[in-house]
Amino acid sequence: MVEIMHPQTYSDEESRAVHLDRIVPTRKPRLADDLYGQLLLELSRSKYEIGARLPTEEQLAKAFAVSRPIVREALRRLQEDGIVSSRRGAGTFVSRTPPAEVGAERGRDIASFMQAFEVRACLEPEACRLATRRRTPATVSVIARALEDLEAAMKSGDGNPEADFRFHLSIAQATLNDLFVDQIVVLKPTIIGTIAITSEITRARSDERRKKVFREHVDIFSAIERGDEDRAKSYMLYHLAEVWSRITDTHR
C-alpha cells in the first residue's frame, strides 16, 4: 500500500516539487511576444515586400536564437493578424506590411496591444449595446462631453490618447455596470498604447484620415443617443476593426 502524505507534512522543497505540475510556464509566451514584435519591426521597415517569402522556421530560430516552437507561435499570431499567410509546402509569405510608426514601439508592448483587441472586441461592442439600452440624459451628456474633448484634441493635432480613452470609458460607465468599467480600467495601459500608435500613424497621413477616425466615434455616439442598440454595437465593432487595420496595414 502506498502511504499518502498529507500536504501539510511536506517540507518546503517537497511542496515545491509536488506543485510543479501546477505551474504555468511564462517563458515561452514572453519569448513569443518578443519575436512577434521583432518580426513586426522588420516588416514595418519594409525589409520584406508584400508577397515575399519569409525565412524558414529553422532559419528564423537560428537568427533570433529561439526554439522553433517559439517561431511557430509568433508566426501563428502574425497570421491571425492577417500580416502573413502560410502555404502548405511553400512557406510563409507577407500579406501586408505594418506602418513604419509601429516599429517605434517595443515588441512586447505591441504584442500586448494586439492581444487586448481580442478582449476589447468582446467587451466594448456589448458595452455599447447596454449603454444604449440603459441610456439616461446624464450618461448621454457625459459621452457627448468626452466626444467634444476628443474633437478638440484631434483638431489640435496632438491626438491626446487620454481624451480618446475617456470616450471609451464613458460608454462603459453608461452601462451602469461597474464590472464593465473595471475591465476598461484594467485595459487602460494597452488602450492608451494603441491610441498613441494610431494617433502617430494618423498624424503622418492626411486630414481626411483624422476626420474618418473622428467620424467613427461620432457614429457610435449618434447610435447611442438615438437608442439604436444594434447600430451602436456594430459601429464599435467596426471602429475596433479599423483601428486593428491601421496598425497592421500601411495601406489602410
130: confidence class by pLDDT, cuts 50, 70, 90: very high
> In this structure, what C-alpha cell is assigned to residue 104?
517605434
Burial 135-174 (b: 16+ CB within 10 A, else e): beeebbebbeebbebbeebbeeeebbbebbbbbbbbbbbb
Segment 24-31 mean pLDDT: 53
Residue 45 confidence (pLDDT) above 90: no
Q: What is the pLDDT of residues 178-236, one digit of tens each?
A: 999 999 999 999 999 888 888 877 766 667 778 898 999 999 999 999 999 999 999 99
pTM for the model stands at: 0.75
Residue 48 DSSP class: S
Range scoring the smallest mean pLDDT among 7-16, 79-88, 217-226 = 7-16
Q: What is the pLDDT of residues 225-243, one digit of tens each?
A: 999 999 999 999 999 999 8
The percentage of residues in the chain with a pLDDT greater than 90, rounded to a whole number, is 51
The percentage of residues in the chain with a pLDDT greater than 70, rounded to a whole number, is 82
155: confidence class by pLDDT, cuts 50, 70, 90: confident
103: confidence class by pLDDT, cuts 50, 70, 90: low
Q: What is the pLDDT of residue 99?
A: 80
Which whole-number Å values give the CA distances from 45 to 103, 106, 241, 250, in the listed order? 7, 14, 23, 11
Residue 83 confidence (pLDDT) above 80: yes
Q: What is the pLDDT of residue 227?
A: 98
Dihedral of alpha carbons 97, 100, 104, 109, sign: negative
